[in-house]
Amino acid sequence: MSHPDAIQNIVILGGGTAGWMAASSLAHVLDAKQISITLIESEQIGTVGVGEATIPPILLFNKMLGIDENEFIRETKATFKLGIEFVNWGGLGESYIHPFGDFATDVETLPVHHHWLRAKAAGYSRDLFDFSLMVQACRGNKFVHPVTNNPRSVLAGVHYAYQFDAGHYAAFLRKYAEQRGVKRIEGRVDEVQQHSESGFIESLKLESGEAISGDFFIDCSGFRGLLIEQTLNTGYDDWSGWLPVDRAIAVPCEKSGPAIPYTRSTARDAGWQWRIPLQHRTGNGHVYCSEFVSDDEACETLINSLDGAATADPKQLRFKTGYRRKYFDKNVLALGLAAGFMEPLESTSIHLVQTGLARLLALFPDKQFRQVDVDAYNQRTLFEYERIRDFLVLHYVATKRDDTPFWRHCQNLPVPDTLQQKIDQFRSAGRIFRESNELFTESSWLAVMHGQGVEPQSWNPVANRFDGADITARLEGMADVIARASDAMPDHEAYVQKCVAESHG
């Protein structure tokens, strides 16, 4: 028998990626005999329909659900992703790849880039990105799964994520959740009923008149935040002073050539453009700052640079970068766009749904909704958002670009203290510290700082104790192993097709 305070009815409002991720993971973890899960969504309102590039932790999410990877790849039209190529970010005409995974292995306990910095100062000409297996695989359009039975193999260091069709992913998770007892209700919520004293939400009233009651509500209603904001008025902290883009236009186009194993982000005059290659089409979007370009011009820039015929009408989206002051308030937890949005530059939003769910399970409430747990959820979530914000801001401030009003504006953006400290530390001696499990690793910070031209004045002096010629020979050896390993990898598109062919069902 369950405890009298135990949550018995969870109601999820919203059937976008966030809603169905919440429904599927809760249905997997919780006991369906004791807790009922209902998801309400409105086809009339629809979903945001974007969100197709992910980062490696999504593998853990799918694995936790027990999803068969080949079936998932087939159903969501997914391709593999090894990183993001940034074109025109550091300077016009420049490009680099922010890869997943590490740069080679540490040498004599020091991260390889310290030895590389020292060697470079002595005339060594090889680029740092030659020490990333993922960058080399991207350059050759290659992919292979990581080797799992030999930790010494260079291929044990393959790190990947997916690029998938957002609509197909939500449908895939919906099937999963419904098979595990989640009840889906189609309909539009018109009214929210709250307890007269506590303000806790008691039920959601549909336009049909039906009321859906619950103990715990998960707000996945998208930007509108119907429960967390429009009902509980928790407030939104605007980060557009740091992250200035506020609109996007998205349009899919026909596929042109083989799908590449990475997302491309091309900086434009007043923002940037994404290109996400899937099995059946390419996803594109232009994210921009409306202060510096009109919607019509932004749309024209996007349409003129598609590499295939558009397959749908362009869709415009408006947003304000920032976060909900309370992600968890009373008996409502916000996930996905209802919780905040920091722009899609590093594909972090779906990941934030995933970590929000992990945190929720670690702090799973009962009907008391103890404030100490609610506060812990909010503090930890804010920490995660702030560190991601810093990483995103880095892309805008670490640039030589001053060729348009937007990029000149970016040159004068305020830099959060926590980011300034990271940049200063790297500039001084190439040092990078990852704080309290923040999402982006030392290698990610290194890739973007190096890729966008932040130059360290020196390196960790510990590197000086090693023989320079010996270190250079070892660097050459590592670069050679990486080049040979990436050359030997299968072609990415062929590999995806093989996964689809091997899928069951």
Ligand X SMILES: Cc1cc2nc3c(=O)[nH]c(=O)nc-3n(C[C@H](O)[C@H](O)[C@H](O)COP(=O)(O)OP(=O)(O)OC[C@H]3O[C@@H](n4cnc5c(N)ncnc54)[C@H](O)[C@@H]3O)c2cc1C
Instruction: Tell which residue, 185, 217, 165, has the closest CA to residue 26.
Output: 217
- Show Cβ contacts of residue 375 under 8 Å, excluding neighbours closer than 6 positions: none
- The least CB distance from residue 463 to ligand X, in Å, is 37
Catalytic residue among 63, 77, 81, 142: 81
| Tokens encoding 176 | 């999963």
| Of residues 136 and 221, the one with the C-beta less far from ligand X | 221
Residues 236-295 that bind ligand X (CB under 6 A): 248, 250, 285, 287
The dihedral formed by the CA atoms of 304, 308, 313 and 314, expressed in degrees to the nearest 10: -50
Residues 79-108 that bind ligand X (CB under 6 A): none
| Of residues 167 and 453, the one with the C-beta less far from ligand X | 167
Q: Is 81 a catalytic residue?
A: yes
With CB under 6 A as the contact rule, the residue among 112, 137, 227, 337 that binds ligand X is 337
Instruction: Tell which residue, 49, 15, 261, 242, has the closest CA to residue 144.
Output: 261
| Of residues 334 and 394, the one with the C-beta less far from ligand X | 334
- Show Cβ contacts of residue 180 under 8 Å, excluding neighbours closer than 6 positions: 24, 27, 28, 32
- The least CB distance from residue 471 to ligand X, in Å, is 39
- Mark the segment that binds ligand X (CB under 6 A) among 27-35, 118-126, 215-223, 299-307: 215-223
User: Per rule CB under 6 A, is residue 25 in the interface with ligand X?
Assistant: no
CA distances from 271 to 266, 289, 407 (A): 9, 6, 9
In angstroms, rounded to a whole number, what is the distance separating the alpha carbons of residues 311 and 264? Answer: 19
C-alpha Rg value of the chain to the nearest Å: 24
User: Per rule CB under 6 A, is residue 53 in the interface with ligand X?
Assistant: yes
User: Per rule CB under 6 A, is residue 344 in the interface with ligand X?
Assistant: yes
User: Per rule CB under 6 A, is residue 46 in the interface with ligand X?
Assistant: yes
Contact 251, 313 (CB under 8 A): yes
User: Per rule CB under 6 A, is residue 336 in the interface with ligand X?
Assistant: yes
- The least CB distance from residue 14 to ligand X, in Å, is 3
Give residue for tokens 């303000």: 199
User: Per rule CB under 6 A, is residue 349 in the interface with ligand X?
Assistant: yes
Q: How many CB atoms lie within 10 A of CB 55?
A: 23
User: What backbone torsions phi and psi does residue 487 show, to the nearest 5 degrees?
Assistant: -60, -35
| Of residues 381 and 486, the one with the C-beta less far from ligand X | 381
- Mark the segment that binds ligand X (CB under 6 A) among 44-52, 106-114, 253-261, 473-481: 44-52
H-helix or E-strand containing 461?
none
| Of residues 5 and 237, the one with the C-beta less far from ligand X | 237
User: Per rule CB under 6 A, is residue 356 in the interface with ligand X?
Assistant: no
With CB under 6 A as the contact rule, the residue among 35, 50, 73, 260 that binds ligand X is 50
In angstroms, rounded to a whole number, what is the distance separating the alpha carbons of residues 371 and 329? Answer: 9
- Mark the segment that binds ligand X (CB under 6 A) among 12-20, 114-122, 150-158, 427-435: 12-20
Q: Hey, which residues does 87 pair with through a beta bridge?
A: 95, 266
| Of residues 45 and 500, the one with the C-beta less far from ligand X | 45
- Mark the segment that binds ligand X (CB under 6 A) among 26-34, 50-58, 79-87, 251-259: 50-58
| Of residues 47 and 443, the one with the C-beta less far from ligand X | 47
With CB under 6 A as the contact rule, the residue among 226, 394, 432, 485 that binds ligand X is 226
Q: Hey, which residues does 265 pair with through a beta bridge?
A: 86, 274
| 3-class DSSP string for 102-139 | CCCCCECCECHHHHHHHHHHCCCCCCHHHHCHHHHHHH
Instruction: Tell which residue, 493, 500, 478, 490, has the closest CA to residue 129.
Output: 478
Active site residues: 81
Tell me which residues touch ligand X (CB under 6 A). Answer: 13-19, 40-42, 45-48, 50-54, 166, 188-189, 220-222, 224, 226, 248, 250, 285, 287, 317, 319, 336-338, 344, 347, 349-350
